[in-house]
Structure 1
Amino acid sequence: MLVFARFGLMADLALLMGLPLFWWAMGVAGSRVVLVALALGGMALSALWLLASGASMTGTPMLPPDWATAEILLTMTPIGPVLAVRAAALLAALVLAVAGRTRLVLIPAAVAAATIAWTGHAGATEAMAGTIHRAADVAHIWAASGWIGALAALLHAVTVRRPNVDRVAVMLAKFALLGTVFVATLVVTGVVNSLMIVGIADLPALAGSRYGWLLGAKLLLFAAMLGLAALNRWRLTPALERGDGAIGALRLSLAVETGAAIAIMALVALLGTLDPMG
């Protein structure tokens, strides 16, 4: 259940930040209903994660809830301040979404997404190394959220009953530069995070660990996403602009890329609960 809660939170908060970012970049208003649902979902999933974390720590079933352990986590560990910041950010996002200020939701959503960095391996790193690790992790989370939000919006645009091909082509062209920034950020911060978690001296040991195999699977999926993104940018987008009827191929490419992103989030949710050297 802890892995499920982590996965749900990452997906929810990534969309809550990524969708407004994409809408802002495209110059469109976006959906208020979707953002309200995501903000409420983030609150519910945070509560689920808290209960699942307590159950994992005590080795007991999550139901019925162990409120005593939850109180200890909230009042005597860093989890309390982290969840307080996230709750405030999600409440602000909810208020802005209800008010129809969908683009402004990006600001509190970015804060809420950043709190994930304090609930994984980066949160356990101490001193200056911890500051560097968490900064890299926040940048990694923001870049991943931007990419995931763009995938969700683009996939929706090509799967409606009658896609507006010209509009999709414009969206893809506008996203090209932002997508390049996301990829570069993910690569650089991914290297920093890996070195902070494992250490240069222990990198060879990953080959024989469960953590190492799962990390390898994540990297292969990331490489597949890069390949599909390159296909979309250099082949399918120009084909759309020429009117060559590439919408079907683009729909398939975006669906597979989104599936890879979902699989990566599931792996990250699991990796965050494992000992890298275990």
Structure 2
Amino acid sequence: MTEGVLIGARLALMIDLALLMGLPLFWWVMGMAGRRGVLVALAIGGMALSALWLLASVAAMTGTPIIPPDWASAQILLTMTPIGPVLAVRGGALLLALSCASAGRPKLVLIPAAVAAATLAWTGHAGATEDMAGTIHRAADVAHIWAAAGWIGALAVLLHAVLALRPATAEMRRVATMLSRFALMGTLIVATLMVSGIINGVMIVGLAQMPDLAASRYGWLLGAKLMLFGLMLGLAALNRWRLTPALESAMPQRAIAHLRLSLLVETSAAIAIIALVAWLGTLDPMG
């Protein structure tokens, strides 16, 4: 049960921080105003979920229940391991993001949100890699996290817009333009995810051990993640080249329905990928 809570906390925290960075990034690229209340909730949620993740990590490491918390072990983790500085940086970034959002400047949230999201690289396998290899691994992981956040934020905005879309309205052209303009951003995101993902895989597993993944749980979960990523790529291409142009066809209602389904499946696949990443981060690659 403790492992499940830890994975759940990691999943919720990753989604929260991805949205906190991804939403203002997409709003900035698209020239949109943004929503202050959403960012305020995400910043507060990031703090609460970080605390839950800490308590779940302590419980998993010590074999004790989460409630009541083992405060002595938590204090050791915070003061004698890199977890303390990582959470301090994240907490400061989230407070700054909360301040910017509360002041009605949602686009400025992007910078502290990017810092908060980057701290996730120090709480997974990249955080355990040492020396220069560790620096390269963490840099690749940060790039991977930022690219994923950009995609998640874009999906959230696009899905919301398409679900509310009705034929023969002024919103049709605006949504079509938004989808078309996302093409360049999406290409950069995919390229970053692929390059950084390859670097991360080599750093975590090693080239010589790659064949051994087929016999491990880690390998099977990683394979599922890659299959879902391929599905997302296919759906993104379908959205760009077939469904978006169809919005201006003689049958927009059908195009909207297909686009809604495609974005729902793509978003579901993204959430499933984050769930797998949350699980993979608790496993030994060769275990």
Question: Which TM-score bucket, shorter chain as reference?
Answer: over 0.9
Q: Which residue does the alignment assign to 2:141?
A: 137
* Stretches (4+) displaced over 3 A: 241-244
- Look up the SS of the partner of 1:213 in the other structure: helix
| Structure 2 letter corresponding to 1:102 | P
Q: Secondary structure at the residue paired with 1:103?
A: helix
- Give the drift of 1:242: 4.0
Q: Which stretch shows the higher mean deviation, 232-241 or 156-165?
A: 156-165
Which residue in 2 is equivalent to 1:207? 214
The match for 2:131 is: 127
Deviation at 1:165, TM superposition (A): 1.6
Describe the superposition over 1:84-109 as per-residue Cα deviations: whole angstroms up to 9, x where unpaired: 00000000000000001001100000
CA distance in 2, matches of 1:66, 1:153: 40
- TM-score, length-normalised on structure 2? 0.95
Q: Structure 2 vs 1, CA of residues 161 and 228 (structure 1 numbering), >3 Å: closer, same or farther?
A: closer
In structure 2, the gaps of 5 or more residues are none
| One-letter code aligned to 1:193 | N
Question: Is the contact made by 1:50 and 1:70 (CA closer than 8 Å) also made in structure 2?
Answer: yes
Deviation (angstroms), 1:153: 0.4
Which residue number in structure 1 is paired with residue 275 of structure 2?
A: 266
Superposed counterparts of 1:38-187, under 5 Å: 38-160=42-164, 162=166, 164-187=171-194
TM-score (norm 1): 0.98
Between the aligned partners of 1:197 and 1:241, the Cα distance in structure 2 is 46
AA aligned opposite 1:232: N
Give the AA of the match of 1:105: V
Cα drift, residue 244 of structure 1 = 3.8
Distance in 2, matches of 1:28 and 1:161, equals 17
Q: Is the 8 A contact 1:15 1:149 kept in 2?
A: yes
Mapped partners of 2:250, 2:6: distance in 1: 47
* Partners of 2:104 and 2:264 in 1: CA distance: 29
State the aligned residue count. Answer: 278
Q: Which residue of 2 aligns with 1:276?
A: 285
Gaps of 5+ in 1: none
C-alpha contact (below 8 Å) 1:206/1:276 kept by paired residues: yes
